Chains A and B, each alone.
Chain A
Amino acid sequence: MKWLELWIAIAVMVLASSGGDVLTSSAMKRIGDLDELRARRGIFAVIGAVFSEKHFLLALACFTIGFFSLLTALSWGDLSLVAPASASLTFIVSAVMAKFFLKERVDHRRWISAVLVCVGVVLLAM
């Protein structure tokens, strides 16, 4: 039953990293352009602003879960399965989450890109 554990690890990784991406994006949008902030007030102001965003800290928790499920999945299955499976699914799941949670305008252009990239990543693994 190793394959079931493997796919659960991949699913946990995809959900955790997509959730983390959405939380990170929302935190960064609240801060505004980091490069501009750094130019005005220095790198420490940027680090301070980033680490005092609650959404960013939640995102870090998600990424930590995602990171260790990736390590776990990699030790159970081949990189040639784990990497494309988790990467390609993340593109689709993140696009869906960005639309519903971040209210991004995911138009035809972005759906087509997400699907092209998803299929391309799978092909790269063959």
Chain B
Amino acid sequence: MNVRKYLVLLAVMCFGSIGDALLSRGMKQLGPVNLHHWQEIIRPIGNPWILIGILCLTVFFASYLTALSFADLSYVLPATAFGYVLVTLIAKFLFHENVSLLRWLGVLLISCGVGWVTRGPALTEHPREAPAAMQKEQHEVA
């Protein structure tokens, strides 16, 4: 793991949670999806919040693919949860929203989980199954 790889993880954290927030805002604007009209499920794509949300999630996805190319899924996923912590901090210090004690406890638990997992090895070694191109990478991580 080097600085560049941690930056990829940071991009996964930021763009994922921002994209989700934009999507939820757009869907709330549109109201309930009625399953009796299947065409309606396409309608959200015209909404500007949904569009920007999808754009953010595209950047998120590219960073996510890059992260998974050099680290385990069970390493990357907890690390991505740190996005929730960022959203809470933005809500508190940028939008001056009220953040309850229970939420701060949640922030603490997620931070502990992320701090804990990122101190361990990023990639499981599979000496016999690994493709030749990956051998170099595994030595670097180890």
Contacts and interface: CB of A to CB of B under 8 A. Distances in A.
Partners in one complex: yes
Interface of A: 21-22, 24-25, 28-36, 50, 68, 71-72, 74-76, 79, 83, 87, 90-91, 94-95, 98-99, 102-107, 109-110, 112-117, 119-126
Interface in B88-134: 88, 100, 102-103, 105-114, 116-117, 119-120, 124, 126, 129, 131, 133-134
Q: Interface range on chain B: under 10, 10 to 19, 20 to 34, or 35 or more?
A: 35 or more
Contact of B131 (A32, A105, A106): A32
Contact of B73 (A34, A50, A79, A98): A98
A32 B69 contact: yes
A107 to B, nearest CB: 7
A77 to B, nearest CB: 10
A120 B110 contact: yes
Nearest to B25: A79
Contact of B134 (A29, A106, A109): A29
15 contacts: A21-B73, A25-B73, A28-B65, A29-B69, A30-B131, A87-B84, A90-B77, A91-B81, A104-B72, A107-B120, A109-B119, A110-B78, A121-B84, A121-B106, A123-B102
Nearest to A73: B33
A102 B76 CA distance: 14
Given A79-B24, A104-B73, A123-B109, 18 more contacts: A29-B69, A33-B69, A35-B4, A74-B24, A83-B20, A91-B77, A98-B74, A110-B74, A113-B113, A116-B109, A116-B112, A116-B116, A117-B110, A119-B109, A120-B81, A122-B106, A123-B102, A126-B102
B74 A106 contact: yes
B69 A75 contact: no
Given A35-B66, A126-B102, A109 B116 contact: yes
Interface of B: 4-5, 8, 20, 23-24, 27-28, 30-33, 35, 41, 44, 64-66, 68-70, 72-78, 81, 84, 88, 100, 102-103, 105-114, 116-117, 119-120, 124, 126, 129, 131, 133-134, 137
Most chain B CB inside 10 Å of its own CB: which residue of A31, A36, A109, A114: A109
A46 to B, nearest CB: 9
A119 B78 CA distance: 12
A112 B113 contact: yes
